[in-house]
Amino acid sequence: MKQKLFRTIADLRFSIFILLLISFCSILGTVIEQDQSVEIYKLNYPLTNPILGFLTWDRILQLGLDHVYRTWWFFLLIFLFGFSLISCTFLQQFPSLKVARRCQFFRTTEQFYRLKISTILKNVSSPKILVRIQQAQYSIFQQKNIIYCYKGLIGRIAPILVHFSMILVLLGTIIGSLFGFKAQEIVPKTEQFHIQNILTSGQLTTIPETSVRINDFWINYTKSKTISQFYSDLSVLNSDGKEIDRKTISVNYPLVYKGLYYYQTDWNLIGLRFQTKNNEILEYPLVNALNNQNKVWLTWIAQDSTLNNGLIGIIDNLEGYCSIYDESGQFLGNLELNETKNFIEPLTLLEIISSTGLQIKTDLGIPIIYSGFFLLMISTLISYVTYSQIWIVEKQNQLFIGGTTNRALFDFELEFFKFIK
C-alpha cells in the first residue's frame, strides 16, 4: 500500500493536477487585491453584489484570499507538488538513469526488427564500422560477437535537474513567504527613521532594528519639465548613530544592506520655510490641493498676527520656487529659493521641505529562487543533447546493426547511414 501511495503521488497526472490548483490559486491572488484593509474589500466585494455568485468580502477574509500566498492551504499545495517531484525523481528518474547507464546487449537478432532503424550487412567486418562509431563520440562495449554503443547520456540527467530546479523555486517561495516582509516609510529630508509601517510580513518574520538617515532628496527634471528621476541619499546607522553604509538610491537602484532592500518609490512636499522682515523664521505646512495622485500643494502664508490677511503659496515641483497668489487668486509672481520679494511685506523663501517615500523589503528566498531558475536554464540546454543507442550482432557472415534515439531522428538517420555506407 505504501508503494502504491508513493507511485500515485509520483504520477505525472497527480503532479499536473496539483500544479493546476496552484496556478488557479495564483490567479485568485492576482485578481483579488492582496493585503488591503477590510474597508477596501467591503467596497469592492459587497454582500449585495457577489462576484461569480459567491465571492463576497466576508468569504474572502474567511478563506484567506486577501493573503493567498501566506495561507496554510497554499503552503500545503506547494508541499504536495514538491513531494510529488521528489517522489518522481527517486522512483522513476533515477532508476531510468541507472538503466540507461547499463550495457543493454541484444542477445538475439529478432530484437533488431523492433527498431525503427536497422539493416543487415553481408561480408562486412565490424571493426570498420566501429572506427566510424568511435569517431562520432560513442561509448562502445563488446562481448564476443555482440556490441552495444551509446552517447549523450548527460541528456538523461535533464529531467532530474528540472525537478530539482522546481523544488528550489518552491522552497524559495515558502522561505520568502515565512520570513519576508514589506514596509513603506515617508520620511522628511535630514530625518532618520526605524522600520515601523509594516505592510506585509510572514509568520516567522523578525523586523530588524536598523536606523537610516535621509541626508538629502532631490528630483531631476527633463527640458519639458517632466520628472526624469528621483534620488535619495541614505546613510545606514549603527546603534551609536555612526554611519556604516551610504548610498544614493533612485528608482530601480536600491540600497542593499544585510538582505534589506531600500527602494525609492514616492515623494512629498510637507512645508515651506520663510524669513520675514524681522528676521523671523516661519514654517508653513503644505497640504495636497487635489488628491494624492496629483502633486500640487498649497499653503496659507499669514502676513499679520490675526492670520486673516495673507498670501496663497502653490507649488507642484521641486525645482526651487513656489507661486504666490493673493486672497482673490490673482497671480503675484514666483518666489525662488533665497529670493526676497515685497508682496504685502518683504518675504524670503529659505527652503522647500520635502520628504521621500521608501519601500523596505526583504525576501530570503530570492537567491534560492534565482538558483532554481538558473538550474532550470541549464537543464533546458542539457535536454537538447540527444541520447542515441546502436546495437551490432555478428552472425553467420552477416552484420545486424540497428539504433534508436530520443530526439532528432532525422539527424540520427543521416549519422547511421554514414556508419554503414
Please list the pLDDT of the chain residue by residue as tens digits (421 residues): 777 787 888 888 898 999 999 999 999 889 888 888 888 888 888 888 877 777 888 888 988 888 888 889 999 999 999 999 988 888 888 888 887 777 788 888 888 888 989 999 887 778 888 999 999 999 999 888 899 999 988 888 888 899 999 999 999 989 988 898 999 999 999 999 999 999 888 888 888 888 999 999 999 988 888 888 999 999 999 988 899 999 999 998 999 998 899 999 989 999 999 988 888 888 999 998 776 567 889 999 887 776 777 889 999 888 888 999 988 888 988 999 998 888 878 889 999 999 999 999 998 999 999 999 999 999 999 988 889 999 999 888 889 999 999 888 899 999 999 888 8
CATH of domain 103-152+386-420: 3.30.310
Cα angle 233, 265, 350 (rounded to 5 degrees) comes to 50
Rounded Cα distance, 150 and 158, in Å = 17
DSSP string covering 44-111: HS-TTS-BTTTB-HHHHHHHTGGGGGGSHHHHHHHHHHHHHHHHHIIIIIHHHHHHHHS-----SGGG
Locate the domains of the chain by residue range.
2-96, 103-152+386-420, 269-355
Which burial class, exposed, middle or buried, applies to 358 when counting CB atoms under 10 A from its CB (0-12, 13-18, 19+)?
Answer: buried
Could you give the 3-state DSSP secondary structure of residue 116? coil
Contact 355, 189 (CB under 8 A): yes
Supply 11's cell numbers: 504520477
User: What's the one-letter identity of residue 21?
Assistant: L
Contact 83, 75 (CB under 8 A): no
pTM, entire model: 0.70
